[in-house]
Structure 1
Amino acid sequence: MTNVTLPKDDDDHRGNVQGWLQVDKRAHQKMWQFGLKNPTGLAVLHFLTSRLTRGSNGVVMSYAAMASAMGIADRTAKTAIAALADARFIQVLKSGKSNVYIINS
């Protein structure tokens, strides 16, 4: 087996980003099953979890900001978020013109 060194993400200067994630095996199984049906939705879920900060389980972001950061269309982001909410992976709350995506409520 070869050791792999991941490239340092120089674009992330937030400093307070959670360094690791832990997922229950049942939830992980549901995630990969969801990903088979909706790969973009799974990518958005991973994007959101990568934006969690220590001590929080929510991300505040507009659809436009998410789409821009991920390199996808606004409509694609909205569709993926709706699918994630329907599958109960996230909750979506409003904060002004932005959304608050609650993960692991």
Structure 2
Amino acid sequence: MATTLIVGPETTMHQESFADRSRQLEQEKKAEAEIIKKEKEDAKKSPFEKFYQVNQANSKYLTKLAVEQPKALAILLFVIENMDGYNALMASYKVFQEKFDISRTTASNCIKYLKEHGFLYVYKSGTSNVYVVNNTLVWKSWGKNTKYCKFPANIILSESEQEKDDLKKQRINAIIYEGDLVDSETGEILS
């Protein structure tokens, strides 16, 4: 069966060389390959922005800690939740005392237990401590980024560690929490 093309006055002839058409097809092929590559990369990405990884082989120690030293576990989880991408957090004992309503002795004993049992390492920076979580237990950054430790770390100050006059000047009645404007006194979402 033969196909006939009828060319009328409205029809325009489009001529391109074999080389031009080959280049065009090659560009389309590359563009398609880039789209497929990007889709594969996106599929590998976690849908979660805030996460930390737990080494399943060592998670049994977290379970043991929960049974034996629940306050120490609470402190460890606080450090993990607030650490930077290099597993580090700078805070004083006062932060833990106020956060968990515990005495300095209890905070000290919990930190001592966590150090002795290898959950975290403690480095001094002035009068504050830099807590670095053991990277064989938990890691908050990409893959094998465990060989680095970057400072400054995330720093948390308790309210009592700040100057009262400065606090009054800096007090803001609304905070931004996960994208929402929240009244810091009532917790009510303002926007």
Tell me, yes or no, whether TM beats 0.5.
yes
Structure 2 CA distance, aligned partners of 1:22 and 1:87?
20
Q: CA deviation at 1:63?
A: 0.5
Matching residue of 1:60: 90
Give the share of equivalent positions with the same residue, in percent.
30
Does the alignment pair 1:42 with 2:73?
yes
* CA shift for structure 1 position 19: 1.0
Task: Measure the CA separation in 2 of the matches of 1:70 and 1:58.
Answer: 20
TM-score between the two structures when normalised by the length of structure 2: 0.43
Bigger RCO of structures 1 and 2 (CA < 8 A, at least 6 apart): 1
Structure 2 unaligned residues grouped into runs of 5+: 1-48, 136-191
Which residues of 2 match residues 1-105 of structure 1 at below 5 A? 19-53=50-84, 55-105=85-135
Q: Partner letter of residue 83 of structure 1?
A: Y
Report the 3-state secondary structure (helix = DSSP H, G, I; strand = E; otherwise coil) of the residue aligned with 2:53: coil
CA RMSD of aligned residues (A): 1.4
Structure 1 residues not aligned, in runs of 5+: 1-17
What amino acid does structure 1 have at the position aligned with 2:95?
A: A
Q: Give deviations 1:16-75, integer Å, cap 9, x for gaps.
A: xx711110112211111122111111111111101112x221110111122112322221
Give 3-state SS (helix, strand or coil) of 1:20's partner.
coil
Larger radius of gyration: 2
